Amino acid sequence: MLPQTVTLARTFRQQIAAATDVTLSMRCPLNGVITQVNPHFPSGCNALVGIKFGTDRHGQCFPDTGFLALDNASPVFAVNITVEYDERLWMEVQNGDAVNPHTPSLTLTIVGR
């Protein structure tokens, strides 16, 4: 009998102080494929807050280069990123707003066994 396929969502989320860069990380909970990347930029980010996502094995995976910076948006992007159990996943956030903190997030959909 084949092992059952599991779909998990994992979210990076933290308030980032004004004019601060932060890297958040977590360990991958299974062997599989990241199939969706869903960044969320709250109202007020005004494209001043940028995020990028990657893994230790692949380096930066999303966006392809640089940072994604939006305002009041939660787009969903289809991706195909192979990941391994216990691999470090990371999100780097740059808050270019010199006055206000912001709380962007990034949710990953991981399908695996």
| Per-residue pLDDT tens digits for 46-101 | 999 999 999 999 999 999 999 999 999 999 999 999 999 999 999 999 999 999 99
Sign of CA dihedral 86, 9, 89, 60: positive
CA–chain centroid gap for 79, Å, is 12
Q: Tell me the HSE value of 91 on the side-chain side, using a 13 A CA sphere.
A: 25
What structural domains does the chain harbor?
Answer: 6-112 (2.60.120.730)
Residue 34 contacts residue 64 (beta carbons within 8 Å): no
What pTM was estimated for this model as a whole?
0.94
Q: Is there a cis peptide before residue 63, judged by omega within 30 degrees of 0?
A: yes
